[in-house]
Amino acid sequence: MLIFLLRRLVQACFVMIIISVISFAIQDKLGDPVQQMVSMAVSSDEREQLREQLGLNDSFLNQYWRFAKGAIQGDLGTSYHYKEPALDVILKKLPATLELVFCAILLIIIVATPCGVLAAIKPKHPVSRLLMIISSIGLSVPIFIIAIFMVYLFSVEWNIAPSFGRGETTEILGLWDSGIFTKDGLSHLLLPSLSLAIALMPIFVRLIRAEMMDVLQSEYIRFAWSKGLSAKRIYFIHALKNTMLPVITVGGIQAGTLVAYTILTETIFQWPGMGFLFMDAVSRVDTPLVAAYLIVVGGMFVITNTVVDLIYGLVNPTVRLASHGL
């Protein structure tokens, strides 16, 4: 077990190093950060001076070495625009993104579970068929179209929810700037979390339906029927429980997709989270911030995957065998 753990950790470190090299290497391709800092009228000599001060004229290896030395000590560079350590800037925006993702996941669970179950129990029912059609459409329409459409309907035409921003926030324990404890904050959460949820809901409806149908064929369900248990108990206690296992696994993988979708959703709704920050940093050529974001998100992926692998190792010992493990 210990060897397996070590091996996974070495692997994770290796992946992180590759991510850091890549995120550092693409910096050059984003454009010239100095150009963004000065007005058009500033002479090329002055620009050159600034470039020199920022260390942008050093060789790639030198720059990377400086960056890596800092990164090991937890310093991912200083954002040009925010003038603060890039990691701090990102962590400050983390609550907004996490709340958005949390609400989206909540919505997915609340909506997708009953829909999926219904579609599995009564596959021929018109409502189930309608659900399947809607989920196909949902899978194929890009999220930004749905989001823009929702803004048009809910905020411009019907005036139900605000169209952008996070609204009023309250500070929890001095650490967490939260929007879910005010009415204003909640109303601001509505559209972004809904459009984020809609992006992933169809997959889950379909997944739950397929898994549920599978489970309903199994022996123990037939046994439960013959035992004379109530339909409610069979569907929602016995069958659903076993359905959820693979769903949660896929859900874990999809969490990564969710992070990618937050970039889009946050940009459309001007949601002050990490995704929005990233887009802003790219257009400002705030290269330290871009690199830090990629490393933080990459790190999040690596950690979740490693944890998932470790849990698998506990649950299913065969994974620990060399032939399966690496």
Q: Describe the crossing of helices 183-216 and 86-121 by its angle, rounded to 10 degrees.
A: 50
Q: Describe the crossing of helices 240-269 and 183-216 by its angle, rounded to 10 degrees.
A: 140
**Identity at 62, one-letter amino acid code:** N
Chain residues 129-158 in contact with another protein, contact rule CB under 8 A: 148, 151-152, 155-156
Name the residue nearer to another protein (CB basis): 170 or 257: 170
Structural contact between residues 301 and 256, judged by C-beta atoms closer than 8 angstroms: yes
Q: Is 313 in the site for another protein (CB under 8 A)?
A: no
CA distance 90 to 299: 13
Name the residue nearer to another protein (CB basis): 40 or 72: 40
Tokens of 136: 């196909």
Structural contact between residues 185 and 177, judged by C-beta atoms closer than 8 angstroms: no
Beta-strand pair 176-178/170-172: antiparallel
Q: Between 44 and 83, how does the x/- string for binding to another protein read (CB under 8 A)?
A: xxx---x--xx-----------------------x-xxxx
Q: Count of residues binding another protein (CB under 8 A)?
A: 54
Name the residue nearer to another protein (CB basis): 280 or 309: 280
CA distance 315 to 1: 12
Which of 218, 270, 316, 318 contacts another protein by CB under 8 A?
Answer: 270
Name the residue nearer to another protein (CB basis): 251 or 272: 272
- Least distance (Å) between residue 271 CB and another protein: 9
Which of 285, 290, 292, 294 contacts another protein by CB under 8 A?
Answer: 285
For the chain, the residue count is 326
CB atoms closer than 10 angstroms to residue 73: 7
Q: Is 99 helix (H, G, I), strand (E, B) or coil?
A: helix
Q: Between 178 and 217, how does the x/- string for binding to another protein read (CB under 8 A)?
A: ---xxxx-x-------------------------------
| Whole-Å CA distances, 225 to 120, 211, 230, 237 | 17, 19, 8, 13
Structural contact between residues 267 and 278, judged by C-beta atoms closer than 8 angstroms: no
Which of 254, 284, 290, 313 contacts another protein by CB under 8 A?
Answer: 284
Q: Is 268 in the site for another protein (CB under 8 A)?
A: yes
Q: Is 124 in the site for another protein (CB under 8 A)?
A: no
Name the residue nearer to another protein (CB basis): 238 or 284: 284
Which of 251, 272, 275, 313 contacts another protein by CB under 8 A?
Answer: 272
User: Which residues 6+ apart lie within 8 Å of 251 measured at CB?
Assistant: 204
**Which residues form the interface with another protein (CB under 8 A)?**
29-32, 35-46, 50, 53-54, 78, 80-84, 148, 151-152, 155-156, 159, 162-166, 168, 170, 181-184, 186, 267-270, 272, 276-277, 280, 283-285
